[in-house]
Structure 1
Amino acid sequence: MERARPVVVAGAGMAGLTMALELARRDIASIVVERAPRLEEVGAGLQLSPNALRVLARLGRLDDLKARGTVAETVTLRRGDTGRPIASVPVAADDGTPYLSIHRADLQAWLADAVAASPLVDLRLGTGITGVTQHGGGIRTDISAAGGDGSLHAPLLIAADGVNSPISRMLGLGEAVATGALAWRGRIADLSALPPPAGIEAWLGPRRHAVAYPIAGGRETNLVLIEPATDMTDAADLARRFDRWDRRLGAMIAAVGSFTAWPLKGVPPQRSWRHLDDRLILIGDAAHGMLPYAAQGAAMAIEDAAVLADHLDRAPSLPAALRGYEAERRPRIDRVRARVAFHRRVYHLPFPLSLARNAVLARRSPDSLARDLAWLYDWYPPRG
């Protein structure tokens, strides 16, 4: 790939910042453009499984990242009505790579610190993209910023601008689609009377489920309630909709200062990733945004960055790099999508099917449950 001009990366979220750092590891310069004027706290907690942490471990100080989050050994599945444990799934990797729960803003800040230390990354905040066209054997990206309008000329534009990707709309790919699910996200900051969860916990029930885990180095708890979007009224009614659930979960709901509603959107599996004669490629949620039932949205974006950077570094041409990247990533993304769909069905089984689910999980050993996800968590990034 041509290295005389920097690659342009759209978006300074997990995918975009990781992308820039992975390029820098291979001496490829980039310009990261982000329409937000500041990298502020957005979203809520997220989970980083070992497959993602193996990438991040080579981008910065992993001990610092671990200090900003909380290491988890297991994910405990519980009955929604009683809170009784159904199964405990080990999530730490055999090679010692941990599983981390962390606030999205803490991860973004850690990545931004690494970007600021790299002379090969030019981060431009408050810069929106207004158009993309092929130009002179490369791509022209029109931008708008406080200092005026302009354009960037590059060999490649990497669209890492999220599930509601403006670049996807510019390409005529349409909007992200509603999935019929809604997430209510909240944080418990006062843990004096309500200790944080011991690891990651999920309560399963008909049509909805809840997930809780510690963030901010264990000083806060992240709570997510997922239910059908058609049930949405307002946050004040959440307690009533979960009033027959585990009392401990009810106490956690009451302890949240305020909930934020997030309609969960996805990207159609058939969305094309490569555009404009292989001068533009979508990665992360812009390419394959999916429901959070396997906690792999951020992880897949982080993996994307490592694999794409490797192909850009090794391939004899840009089209060959993007073809090779897509051929490698599509099967894995499809497999993760299938796992997400499986979790969605199994988590929300009604009575009496839920009794059969619980009985099957209870009979399985932790090792056998861990083997179900070995293909996912034991992934290693390409060397480079």
Structure 2
Amino acid sequence: MIIVIGAGLAGLTVAIALQQAGHKVTVLESAPQITYIGAGIQVSSNSSRVLRTLGVEPHIVKYCTEPVDLRMMRWKTGEVLVECPLKQPAQEEYNSPYWHIHRADFHRGLMARALEVGVTVHLDSRITKVEPDIPRLTTKAGKAYTPDLVVASDGLHSICREIVLGKKSPPNPTGQMVYRVTLPAKKLAGVPGLEEFATIPRNNHWIGPHATILSYLLEGIEQPLINFVFTCDSTMDEGVDTKLEGSEEVRERFKEWDPRLGVMLEHVQEVLKWRLFTHHELANWAHPANKVVLIGDAAHAMTPYLAQGAAMGIEDAAVLAGILAEPDFATVDKLPESLKLYENIRIKRAARVAEASISSRYFTQMSDGPDQEARDKWMLEHPGIWEQHINIRSRKEFLDELFGYDVYTVLSEALAKARKEGVDAVTAQVGTSSVSAIPAVL
């Protein structure tokens, strides 16, 4: 039996994958009931490929939109600096769609698929004690579980990460926060200059000093929505990581930005503030006893600037379950080799994407001045996707490595090498392109 701690996106994905691989899987979730916070989420080709393989697509596709492109705009005026396609390369080059979906609809779809394939889910099952050498888990109600393996998908503030590492490992504040907003698209109907935001599926980015704004359309379970993410330097009180409040603060902080944003914010009453954290790269994701292993945010919480946090957890799930689907890696006595192979494939891949995400922040949040002017001039002269583009979101070789990453091909090659040369010979496929901003040439 395998226990998954946490019924979030990565936890449910790995539960589905492990159950389909022939294991008996139980998910323990601390919340007494499933509630949905957050807003939109981006599911790029590298992760949609996994979801389609696992049979999740039929449960979510009607709630997905496919953005035609990504547009970056000047913060103050809304001047378009660069556009690059998303839908066409996703379908034609990476062979799996790029989706936007509300997190609640995504989570409901994963839960439906998990139950459909036979996963057992227990709510109100907060873990109060972890004995990794046995392994044994004890819940707040005193219920004890002794599985063969514990997969810890217990999120940013994971209790299992400290146990795996043998020391405290709190997440690191990035110094930034987001205001998350959803707005019914119909509220912008007929408003001059705003129709495209309410009708065209697109990744809209405003880039400016110490802040970025993202908007995109969501299908929604009841009606189309516009999802906004205002990312900026944090003003949240110490010890407060999330807070629901009115829209006055975000309207004040962004009042000098593109006037269209102010008009849209006039229709917003409620905003969710969310502090941003990350983790430094961990040396290992498995406990030395090889009976507890980390996945998703518990292993590698990352900044949101490339929208890859959930995608990395979904990739983790496919790799871990794929290894444990193989008869020669699926038995308890083979767990040391299996978990080492999982780490070798995943740790450096996740670390590289995390590094690229941080680089993207500093490229898009430049202060006004000569560097920003050179950046904007170069992007205006180089629309679309190019090799060696200064914007990582338009850099062909990096996008091929990010969105074109086929986790199943990677896994197949890793398994073949492990069988031939041993697990230690397997290394992560991380690519060779630059993940840093390339200086603009004036």
C-alpha displacement of 1:370: 5.6
Structure 2 unmatched runs, 5+: 190-194, 238-242, 387-393, 413-442
* Match for residue 16 of structure 1 among 1, 11, 15: 11
2:233 partner letter: P
1:118 partner letter: V
Aligned residues: 373
Q: 1:70 aligns to what?
A: 65
2:15 partner letter: A
C-alpha displacement of 1:49: 0.3
C-alpha displacement of 1:197: 5.9
Q: Distance in 1 between matches of 2:56 and 2:315?
A: 18
Q: Distance in 1 between matches of 2:24 and 2:379?
A: 49
1:269-280 to structure 2, matched below 5 A, reads 269-270=281-282, 272-280=284-292
1:277 partner letter: A
Q: 1:84 aligns to what?
A: 79
- Asked if 2 retains the 8 angstrom alpha-carbon contact of 1:182 and 1:263, the reply is yes
Q: Confirm whether residue 206 of structure 1 aligns to residue 224 of structure 2.
A: no
TM-score under structure 2 length normalisation = 0.80
C-alpha displacement of 1:292: 0.1
Alignment identity in percent?
Answer: 30
C-alpha displacement of 1:270: 3.0
Q: Confirm whether residue 141 of structure 1 aligns to residue 137 of structure 2.
A: yes
- Asked if 2 retains the 8 angstrom alpha-carbon contact of 1:87 and 1:362, the reply is yes
TM-score under structure 1 length normalisation = 0.92
Encode CA deviations 1:333-365: one digit per residue, 9 max, x unaligned.
121012111101101011122221112222224
Encode CA deviations 1:265-323: one digit per residue, 9 max, x unaligned.
11222364111411111110110001100000010000000011112223531011110
Highest RCO, 1 vs 2 (Cα 8 Å, sep ≥ 6): 1
2:336 partner letter: P
* Match for residue 266 of structure 2 among 254, 271, 274: 254
Q: Which one has a larger percent strand, Structure 1 or Structure 2?
A: 1
Q: 1:129 aligns to what?
A: 127
2:3 partner letter: V
C-alpha displacement of 1:140: 0.5
Q: Distance in 2 between matches of 1:164 and 1:230?
A: 21
1:72-221 to structure 2, matched below 5 A, reads 72-92=67-87, 93=90, 94-119=93-118, 121-135=119-133, 138-144=134-140, 148-169=141-162, 172-189=167-184, 191-194=186-189, 195=195, 196=198, 198=200, 199-217=202-220, 219-221=224-226
Q: 1:3 aligns to what?
A: none
Q: 1:379 aligns to what?
A: 405
RMSD of aligned Cα (Å) = 2.0
C-alpha displacement of 1:176: 1.3
Residues 297/61 of structure 1: CA separation in 2 closer, same or farther (3 Å cut): closer
1:289-308 to structure 2, matched below 5 A, reads 289-308=301-320
Q: Distance in 1 between matches of 2:236 and 2:126?
A: 35
2:349 partner letter: R
Q: Confirm whether residue 263 of structure 1 aligns to residue 288 of structure 2.
A: no
Residues 247/288 of structure 1: CA separation in 2 closer, same or farther (3 Å cut): same
Q: Distance in 1 between matches of 2:132 and 2:350?
A: 28
Which deviates more, 373-382 or 354-363?
354-363
Residues 155/69 of structure 1: CA separation in 2 closer, same or farther (3 Å cut): same
- Asked if 2 retains the 8 angstrom alpha-carbon contact of 1:271 and 1:287, the reply is no
* Match for residue 363 of structure 2 among 340, 346, 356: 346
C-alpha displacement of 1:63: 4.7
Residues 27/231 of structure 1: CA separation in 2 closer, same or farther (3 Å cut): closer
